[in-house]
Each structure stands twice: as structure tokens, then as C-alpha cells.
Amino acid sequence: MESVRSSGDRYNESYSYQHIERRKRKRNQIIFQKIMGSILIVLSIFIPFLLSDQDANGGIALIALVVSAVLLSQIGGCNE
């Protein structure tokens, strides 16, 4: 009986352990980026109300919005 790995046409690379682990890491990274991006969007809305220093509120909120936009835009970046 012929081994599945020895026949190049029947072995599917997507079932290898490394490929499965890579997909798990990528999925976990995407979930983390979605959560952090969403948290930063919400924080950027509430920053002016939570902080007492009125001068820095706009800058901090803007930085939070930019970082959340970058995180959420990288989600669909590379597919394996």
C-alpha cells in the first residue's frame, strides 16, 4: 500500500501540522486585532469625558482613532 505522503498528487499541504498551527495563530491575531480596535474606538469616544485635562483630550482621542483604524484595516491584509 502506497503512503499518502509519498504520492505528491494526493497529499494536501493544508492538512500539515505547521499549516494548521499557522492558521490558528493568524485567526487568534485577527480576533485580537478586532477586539483591540473596537476597544480603542470606544475609548476614543469616551476619552474627553473621562480625562480632566482638556488640552490633551483631542490628541489622545485622535491617536486612539488612528491606532484603531490601523488595527482594523490590517485584518483582511494577507490570506494564506
The 10s digit of each residue's pLDDT in 3-61 is 545 555 666 666 788 888 999 999 999 899 889 888 888 888 887 777 776 777 778 88
What's the pLDDT at 25?
93
Q: Return the sign of the alpha-carbon dihedral for residues 79, 70, 44, 51.
A: positive
The grid coordinates listed for 77 are: 491584509
pTM, rounded to two decimals = 0.61
Residue type, 7: S
What's the pLDDT at 24?
93
Burial class (CB in 10 A: 0-12, 13-18, 19+), 36: middle
3-state secondary structure of 2: coil
What's the pLDDT at 64?
85
The grid coordinates listed for 69 are: 483604524
What's the pLDDT at 8?
54
